[in-house]
Amino acid sequence: MQFTHESLPQRVLFGSTRAATALAAELELLDARRVMVIAAPEEAVIADRITSTLPVALRYDEVAMHVPADVAERARTAAEEAAADAIVCVGGGSTTGLAKAVALTTGLPIVAVPTTYAGSEATAVWGMTHGNQKKTGIDPIVLPRSVVYDASLMLTLPVEMSMASGLNALAHCIDSLWAPQVDPINSALAVEGVRALNSGLPQIATDPTSLVGREQTLYGAYLAAVAFGSAGSGLHHKICHVLGGKYNLPHAQTHAVVLPHVLALNAPVAADSERRLALAFDAPTALAGLQCLRARIDAPRALRDYGLEESQLPAAVDAILPVVPPSNPTPVTRDGLNALLYAAWEGSEPQ
Protein backbone atom coordinates (compact mmCIF):
# COMPACT_ATOMS: atom_id res chain seq x y z
CA MET A 1 0.00 0.00 0.00
CA GLN A 2 1.36 3.40 -0.97
CA PHE A 3 -0.45 6.73 -0.97
CA THR A 4 -0.25 10.40 -0.03
CA HIS A 5 -3.08 11.94 1.98
CA GLU A 6 -3.42 15.56 3.07
CA SER A 7 -5.71 16.55 5.94
CA LEU A 8 -7.10 20.08 6.00
CA PRO A 9 -6.40 22.21 9.11
CA GLN A 10 -9.77 22.95 10.68
CA ARG A 11 -11.43 22.85 14.09
CA VAL A 12 -14.78 21.08 14.29
CA LEU A 13 -17.16 21.55 17.20
CA PHE A 14 -20.06 19.09 17.12
CA GLY A 15 -22.84 19.29 19.70
CA SER A 16 -26.57 19.86 19.65
CA THR A 17 -27.99 23.07 21.21
CA ARG A 18 -24.46 24.46 21.72
CA ALA A 19 -24.04 26.69 18.66
CA ALA A 20 -24.11 30.08 20.38
CA THR A 21 -21.60 29.10 23.07
CA ALA A 22 -19.25 27.38 20.62
CA LEU A 23 -19.44 30.27 18.17
CA ALA A 24 -18.54 32.84 20.81
CA ALA A 25 -15.57 30.74 21.94
CA GLU A 26 -14.23 30.35 18.41
CA LEU A 27 -14.41 34.08 17.70
CA GLU A 28 -12.64 34.78 20.97
CA LEU A 29 -9.81 32.52 19.80
CA LEU A 30 -9.63 34.58 16.61
CA ASP A 31 -9.69 37.80 18.65
CA ALA A 32 -12.47 39.02 16.33
CA ARG A 33 -13.92 42.41 17.18
CA ARG A 34 -15.84 43.36 14.02
CA VAL A 35 -17.74 40.37 12.70
CA MET A 36 -19.53 40.16 9.36
CA VAL A 37 -22.51 37.80 9.72
CA ILE A 38 -23.73 36.35 6.43
CA ALA A 39 -27.17 34.73 6.52
CA ALA A 40 -30.01 34.64 4.00
CA PRO A 41 -33.35 36.19 5.08
CA GLU A 42 -34.82 32.75 5.77
CA GLU A 43 -32.01 32.07 8.25
CA ALA A 44 -32.35 35.43 10.01
CA VAL A 45 -34.06 34.11 13.15
CA ILE A 46 -31.42 31.42 13.72
CA ALA A 47 -28.57 33.80 12.89
CA ASP A 48 -29.85 36.51 15.23
CA ARG A 49 -30.26 34.01 18.07
CA ILE A 50 -26.79 32.46 17.90
CA THR A 51 -24.89 35.70 17.20
CA SER A 52 -26.67 37.95 19.71
CA THR A 53 -23.64 38.12 22.03
CA LEU A 54 -21.05 38.67 19.27
CA PRO A 55 -19.41 41.97 18.24
CA VAL A 56 -21.35 42.17 14.96
CA ALA A 57 -20.28 45.01 12.68
CA LEU A 58 -22.34 43.94 9.66
CA ARG A 59 -25.32 41.70 8.92
CA TYR A 60 -25.36 40.69 5.25
CA ASP A 61 -28.28 38.85 3.64
CA GLU A 62 -27.87 39.02 -0.14
CA VAL A 63 -27.32 35.29 -0.78
CA ALA A 64 -27.92 33.60 -4.13
CA MET A 65 -27.45 30.10 -5.55
CA HIS A 66 -24.13 29.36 -7.25
CA VAL A 67 -22.64 32.67 -5.94
CA PRO A 68 -23.06 35.07 -8.89
CA ALA A 69 -19.89 37.15 -9.36
CA ASP A 70 -21.72 40.46 -8.90
CA VAL A 71 -23.20 39.28 -5.59
CA ALA A 72 -19.73 38.26 -4.43
CA GLU A 73 -18.30 41.65 -5.36
CA ARG A 74 -20.98 43.53 -3.43
CA ALA A 75 -20.35 41.37 -0.36
CA ARG A 76 -16.60 42.03 -0.58
CA THR A 77 -17.20 45.76 -0.77
CA ALA A 78 -19.54 45.63 2.22
CA ALA A 79 -16.96 43.70 4.27
CA GLU A 80 -14.26 46.24 3.49
CA GLU A 81 -16.49 49.23 4.26
CA ALA A 82 -17.45 47.68 7.61
CA ALA A 83 -13.78 46.95 8.41
CA ALA A 84 -14.77 43.38 9.23
CA ASP A 85 -12.08 41.19 10.78
CA ALA A 86 -13.93 37.85 10.64
CA ILE A 87 -16.89 36.23 8.91
CA VAL A 88 -19.60 34.09 10.47
CA CYS A 89 -21.78 32.34 7.90
CA VAL A 90 -25.05 30.78 9.01
CA GLY A 91 -26.87 28.74 6.39
CA GLY A 92 -26.43 26.24 3.57
CA GLY A 93 -24.01 25.87 0.70
CA SER A 94 -24.90 29.17 -0.99
CA THR A 95 -24.24 31.11 2.22
CA THR A 96 -20.96 29.33 2.88
CA GLY A 97 -20.05 29.84 -0.76
CA LEU A 98 -20.55 33.59 -0.46
CA ALA A 99 -18.39 33.69 2.67
CA LYS A 100 -15.66 31.86 0.75
CA ALA A 101 -15.91 34.34 -2.10
CA VAL A 102 -15.31 37.18 0.36
CA ALA A 103 -12.44 35.33 2.03
CA LEU A 104 -10.83 34.60 -1.34
CA THR A 105 -9.95 38.26 -1.88
CA THR A 106 -9.93 39.65 1.66
CA GLY A 107 -8.28 36.80 3.57
CA LEU A 108 -10.83 37.13 6.38
CA PRO A 109 -11.16 34.01 8.58
CA ILE A 110 -14.49 32.18 8.45
CA VAL A 111 -16.41 30.42 11.20
CA ALA A 112 -19.17 28.40 9.56
CA VAL A 113 -22.46 27.34 11.13
CA PRO A 114 -24.24 25.03 8.66
CA THR A 115 -28.02 24.70 8.62
CA THR A 116 -28.13 22.11 5.82
CA TYR A 117 -26.05 19.05 4.93
CA ALA A 118 -24.26 20.72 2.02
CA GLY A 119 -20.72 20.15 3.31
CA SER A 120 -19.10 23.21 1.72
CA GLU A 121 -17.91 24.29 5.16
CA ALA A 122 -15.40 21.41 5.35
CA THR A 123 -13.66 21.97 2.01
CA ALA A 124 -11.26 24.47 0.48
CA VAL A 125 -13.31 24.47 -2.73
CA TRP A 126 -14.84 27.76 -3.87
CA GLY A 127 -17.23 28.43 -6.74
CA MET A 128 -18.64 31.48 -8.51
CA THR A 129 -20.89 31.91 -11.52
CA HIS A 130 -20.08 34.34 -14.33
CA GLY A 131 -23.06 34.55 -16.64
CA ASN A 132 -24.10 30.95 -17.17
CA GLN A 133 -20.71 29.40 -16.46
CA LYS A 134 -19.72 28.22 -13.00
CA LYS A 135 -16.04 28.41 -12.16
CA THR A 136 -14.58 26.46 -9.25
CA GLY A 137 -11.18 26.41 -7.63
CA ILE A 138 -9.27 25.26 -4.55
CA ASP A 139 -7.56 27.67 -2.18
CA PRO A 140 -6.71 27.06 1.49
CA ILE A 141 -7.61 30.66 2.32
CA VAL A 142 -11.35 29.91 1.87
CA LEU A 143 -11.38 26.92 4.22
CA PRO A 144 -13.32 27.96 7.36
CA ARG A 145 -11.05 28.06 10.41
CA SER A 146 -13.79 26.43 12.46
CA VAL A 147 -17.11 24.71 11.88
CA VAL A 148 -19.85 24.69 14.51
CA TYR A 149 -22.18 21.74 13.94
CA ASP A 150 -25.45 21.90 15.88
CA ALA A 151 -28.06 19.41 14.70
CA SER A 152 -30.82 21.24 16.56
CA LEU A 153 -30.50 24.05 14.00
CA MET A 154 -31.66 21.57 11.34
CA LEU A 155 -34.96 20.75 13.05
CA THR A 156 -36.77 23.44 11.05
CA LEU A 157 -35.24 22.39 7.72
CA PRO A 158 -38.19 21.04 5.68
CA VAL A 159 -38.17 17.30 5.08
CA GLU A 160 -38.06 17.67 1.30
CA MET A 161 -35.01 19.91 1.47
CA SER A 162 -33.43 17.70 4.13
CA MET A 163 -33.67 14.71 1.82
CA ALA A 164 -32.21 16.55 -1.18
CA SER A 165 -29.41 18.04 0.92
CA GLY A 166 -28.65 14.66 2.48
CA LEU A 167 -28.45 13.03 -0.94
CA ASN A 168 -26.09 15.80 -2.01
CA ALA A 169 -23.88 14.71 0.91
CA LEU A 170 -24.23 11.09 -0.21
CA ALA A 171 -23.01 12.15 -3.65
CA HIS A 172 -19.87 13.54 -2.00
CA CYS A 173 -19.25 10.11 -0.49
CA ILE A 174 -19.86 8.08 -3.63
CA ASP A 175 -18.00 10.40 -5.98
CA SER A 176 -15.02 10.37 -3.61
CA LEU A 177 -14.50 6.65 -4.22
CA TRP A 178 -13.34 7.24 -7.80
CA ALA A 179 -12.37 10.91 -7.79
CA PRO A 180 -8.95 12.01 -9.11
CA GLN A 181 -7.17 12.01 -5.70
CA VAL A 182 -8.89 8.99 -4.15
CA ASP A 183 -6.88 7.27 -1.39
CA PRO A 184 -7.63 4.76 1.39
CA ILE A 185 -8.21 7.47 4.01
CA ASN A 186 -10.86 9.44 2.17
CA SER A 187 -12.40 6.17 0.98
CA ALA A 188 -12.80 5.06 4.60
CA LEU A 189 -14.39 8.39 5.51
CA ALA A 190 -16.72 8.17 2.51
CA VAL A 191 -17.93 4.66 3.34
CA GLU A 192 -18.63 5.58 6.97
CA GLY A 193 -20.44 8.66 5.67
CA VAL A 194 -22.68 6.46 3.53
CA ARG A 195 -23.50 4.29 6.53
CA ALA A 196 -24.42 7.32 8.68
CA LEU A 197 -26.53 8.97 5.96
CA ASN A 198 -28.30 5.71 5.17
CA SER A 199 -29.21 5.52 8.85
CA GLY A 200 -30.08 9.16 9.50
CA LEU A 201 -32.09 10.22 6.46
CA PRO A 202 -34.92 7.66 6.89
CA GLN A 203 -35.21 8.70 10.54
CA ILE A 204 -35.73 12.32 9.50
CA ALA A 205 -38.26 11.28 6.84
CA THR A 206 -40.23 9.37 9.47
CA ASP A 207 -39.85 11.93 12.26
CA PRO A 208 -38.46 15.37 11.28
CA THR A 209 -38.07 16.22 14.98
CA SER A 210 -35.73 13.28 15.58
CA LEU A 211 -32.52 14.79 16.89
CA VAL A 212 -30.82 11.39 16.61
CA GLY A 213 -31.63 11.25 12.90
CA ARG A 214 -30.46 14.82 12.40
CA GLU A 215 -27.19 14.13 14.24
CA GLN A 216 -26.46 10.97 12.23
CA THR A 217 -27.14 12.82 8.98
CA LEU A 218 -25.01 15.80 10.00
CA TYR A 219 -22.18 13.49 11.06
CA GLY A 220 -22.40 11.69 7.72
CA ALA A 221 -22.47 14.97 5.82
CA TYR A 222 -19.28 16.13 7.55
CA LEU A 223 -17.46 12.88 6.72
CA ALA A 224 -18.70 13.18 3.15
CA ALA A 225 -17.34 16.71 2.82
CA VAL A 226 -13.93 15.80 4.26
CA ALA A 227 -13.67 12.85 1.86
CA PHE A 228 -14.71 15.03 -1.07
CA GLY A 229 -12.35 17.82 -0.06
CA SER A 230 -9.45 15.39 -0.21
CA ALA A 231 -10.46 13.27 -3.20
CA GLY A 232 -11.59 16.07 -5.51
CA SER A 233 -14.41 16.31 -8.02
CA GLY A 234 -15.35 13.16 -9.88
CA LEU A 235 -17.69 12.77 -12.83
CA HIS A 236 -20.84 13.32 -10.78
CA HIS A 237 -19.74 16.73 -9.54
CA LYS A 238 -18.48 17.82 -12.93
CA ILE A 239 -21.92 17.06 -14.39
CA CYS A 240 -23.81 18.83 -11.62
CA HIS A 241 -21.59 21.91 -11.59
CA VAL A 242 -22.13 22.39 -15.31
CA LEU A 243 -25.89 21.89 -15.04
CA GLY A 244 -26.23 24.15 -12.01
CA GLY A 245 -24.15 27.00 -13.41
CA LYS A 246 -25.41 26.82 -16.98
CA TYR A 247 -29.13 26.39 -16.26
CA ASN A 248 -29.43 27.74 -12.69
CA LEU A 249 -30.76 24.43 -11.38
CA PRO A 250 -31.12 23.96 -7.60
CA HIS A 251 -27.88 22.50 -6.27
CA ALA A 252 -29.03 19.77 -3.88
CA GLN A 253 -31.90 18.51 -6.05
CA THR A 254 -29.65 18.30 -9.11
CA HIS A 255 -27.15 16.15 -7.20
CA ALA A 256 -29.95 13.98 -5.82
CA VAL A 257 -31.32 13.26 -9.30
CA VAL A 258 -28.03 12.64 -11.11
CA LEU A 259 -26.40 10.44 -8.44
CA PRO A 260 -27.96 7.03 -9.22
CA HIS A 261 -27.22 7.39 -12.92
CA VAL A 262 -23.51 8.02 -12.34
CA LEU A 263 -23.39 5.17 -9.82
CA ALA A 264 -25.00 2.84 -12.38
CA LEU A 265 -22.37 3.88 -14.91
CA ASN A 266 -19.32 3.40 -12.69
CA ALA A 267 -20.15 0.63 -10.20
CA PRO A 268 -19.85 -2.31 -12.65
CA VAL A 269 -16.17 -1.54 -13.32
CA ALA A 270 -15.19 -0.41 -9.80
CA ALA A 271 -15.57 -3.72 -8.00
CA ASP A 272 -13.91 -2.82 -4.68
CA SER A 273 -15.79 0.46 -4.30
CA GLU A 274 -19.04 -1.23 -5.33
CA ARG A 275 -18.56 -3.92 -2.67
CA ARG A 276 -17.80 -1.41 0.07
CA LEU A 277 -20.81 0.73 -0.84
CA ALA A 278 -23.08 -2.32 -0.85
CA LEU A 279 -21.90 -3.19 2.68
CA ALA A 280 -22.45 0.39 3.85
CA PHE A 281 -25.99 0.33 2.46
CA ASP A 282 -26.48 -3.21 3.84
CA ALA A 283 -27.72 -4.23 0.39
CA PRO A 284 -26.81 -6.82 -2.26
CA THR A 285 -25.42 -4.12 -4.57
CA ALA A 286 -24.53 -0.46 -4.23
CA LEU A 287 -27.19 0.64 -6.72
CA ALA A 288 -29.85 -1.49 -5.02
CA GLY A 289 -28.94 0.10 -1.68
CA LEU A 290 -29.10 3.63 -3.06
CA GLN A 291 -32.39 3.01 -4.81
CA CYS A 292 -33.88 1.48 -1.67
CA LEU A 293 -32.89 4.57 0.31
CA ARG A 294 -34.25 6.88 -2.37
CA ALA A 295 -37.59 5.06 -2.31
CA ARG A 296 -37.80 5.28 1.50
CA ILE A 297 -37.23 9.04 1.53
CA ASP A 298 -39.12 9.97 -1.66
CA ALA A 299 -36.06 11.40 -3.37
CA PRO A 300 -36.14 13.86 -6.29
CA ARG A 301 -36.36 11.92 -9.54
CA ALA A 302 -36.19 14.07 -12.67
CA LEU A 303 -34.26 17.14 -13.78
CA ARG A 304 -37.22 18.30 -15.83
CA ASP A 305 -39.05 18.84 -12.52
CA TYR A 306 -36.53 21.61 -11.76
CA GLY A 307 -36.69 23.53 -15.02
CA LEU A 308 -34.24 21.73 -17.32
CA GLU A 309 -35.65 21.38 -20.84
CA GLU A 310 -35.01 18.45 -23.17
CA SER A 311 -33.77 20.84 -25.86
CA GLN A 312 -30.95 21.92 -23.51
CA LEU A 313 -29.43 18.45 -23.18
CA PRO A 314 -27.15 18.52 -26.27
CA ALA A 315 -25.52 21.77 -25.14
CA ALA A 316 -25.09 20.30 -21.64
CA VAL A 317 -23.29 17.29 -23.12
CA ASP A 318 -20.98 19.63 -25.06
CA ALA A 319 -20.15 21.54 -21.87
CA ILE A 320 -19.57 18.45 -19.72
CA LEU A 321 -17.37 16.37 -22.04
CA PRO A 322 -14.29 18.64 -21.79
CA VAL A 323 -14.29 18.44 -17.95
CA VAL A 324 -14.81 14.67 -17.56
CA PRO A 325 -12.04 13.37 -15.24
CA PRO A 326 -9.67 11.04 -17.13
CA SER A 327 -9.62 8.79 -14.05
CA ASN A 328 -13.35 7.97 -14.24
CA PRO A 329 -13.67 4.17 -14.00
CA THR A 330 -15.94 3.89 -17.05
CA PRO A 331 -14.90 5.69 -20.25
CA VAL A 332 -17.36 8.49 -20.96
CA THR A 333 -18.53 8.86 -24.55
CA ARG A 334 -20.84 11.45 -26.07
CA ASP A 335 -23.56 8.83 -26.62
CA GLY A 336 -23.17 7.45 -23.12
CA LEU A 337 -23.29 10.88 -21.52
CA ASN A 338 -26.29 11.85 -23.61
CA ALA A 339 -28.11 8.70 -22.48
CA LEU A 340 -27.22 9.36 -18.85
CA LEU A 341 -28.48 12.96 -18.97
CA TYR A 342 -31.66 11.99 -20.78
CA ALA A 343 -32.44 9.36 -18.16
CA ALA A 344 -31.82 11.89 -15.38
CA TRP A 345 -33.93 14.48 -17.19
CA GLU A 346 -36.78 12.04 -17.73
CA GLY A 347 -36.54 10.41 -14.29
CA SER A 348 -36.25 6.88 -15.65
CA GLU A 349 -34.54 4.03 -13.82
CA PRO A 350 -30.72 4.18 -14.00
CA GLN A 351 -29.15 1.69 -16.39
The answer for residues whose C-beta is within 8 angstroms of residue 171's C-beta and 6 or more apart is: 236, 237, 240, 255, 256, 258, 259
Integer CA distances (angstroms), 261 to 64, 239, 265, 345, in order: 28, 11, 6, 11
Q: Mean pLDDT, to the nearest integer, of 79-104?
A: 96
Q: Is 235 helix (H, G, I), strand (E, B) or coil?
A: helix
pLDDT at 64 over 80: yes
Nearest Cα to 297, choosing from 186, 174, 178, 169?
169
pLDDT at 3 over 90: no
Predicted confidence at residue 221, as pLDDT, reads 95
| Contact between residue 261 and residue 235 where contact means Cβ atoms under 8 Å apart | no
* Position 240 confidence tier, pLDDT thresholds 50, 70, 90: very high
Predicted confidence at residue 233, as pLDDT, reads 86
Integer CA distances (angstroms), 164 to 117, 131, 248, 270, in order: 9, 25, 16, 26
Q: Mean pLDDT, to the nearest integer, of 286-294?
A: 96
pLDDT at 51 over 90: yes
Q: Mean pLDDT, to the nearest integer, of 118-147?
A: 90
Task: Give the tens place of pLDDT for each residue, 297-306.
Answer: 999 999 999 9
Measured at the CA of 108, the angle between CA 143 and CA 38, to 5 degrees, comes to 85
Predicted confidence at residue 133, as pLDDT, reads 80
| Contact between residue 102 and residue 108 where contact means Cβ atoms under 8 Å apart | yes
pLDDT at 316 over 90: yes
Predicted confidence at residue 351, as pLDDT, reads 80
CB neighbours of residue 318 within 10 Å: 12
The answer for residues whose C-beta is within 8 angstroms of residue 236's C-beta and 6 or more apart is: 171, 174, 175, 255, 258, 259, 262
Higher pLDDT, 131 or 112: 112
Mean model confidence pLDDT for the chain: 94
Predicted confidence at residue 100, as pLDDT, reads 97
Predicted confidence at residue 157, as pLDDT, reads 93
Q: Mean pLDDT, to the nearest integer, of 198-206?
A: 96
- Domains in the chain (CATH in brackets) are 11-154 (3.40.50.1970), 159-346 (1.20.1090.10)
pLDDT at 132 over 80: no
Task: Give the tens place of pLDDT for each residue, 255-285.
Answer: 999 999 999 999 999 999 999 999 999 999 9
Nearest Cα to 113, choosing from 84, 153, 68?
153
Question: In the chain, what percentage of residues exceed pLDDT 70?
Answer: 100
Integer CA distances (angstroms), 307 to 133, 247, 289, 294, 310, in order: 17, 8, 28, 21, 10
- This prediction has a pTM of 0.89
Q: Mean pLDDT, to the nearest integer, of 128-152?
A: 91
Pick the range with the lowest mean pLDDT from 89-103, 230-244, 330-344.
230-244
pLDDT at 4 over 90: no
Task: Give the tens place of pLDDT for each residue, 144-196.
Answer: 999 999 999 999 999 999 999 999 999 999 999 998 888 999 999 999 999 99
* Position 216 confidence tier, pLDDT thresholds 50, 70, 90: very high
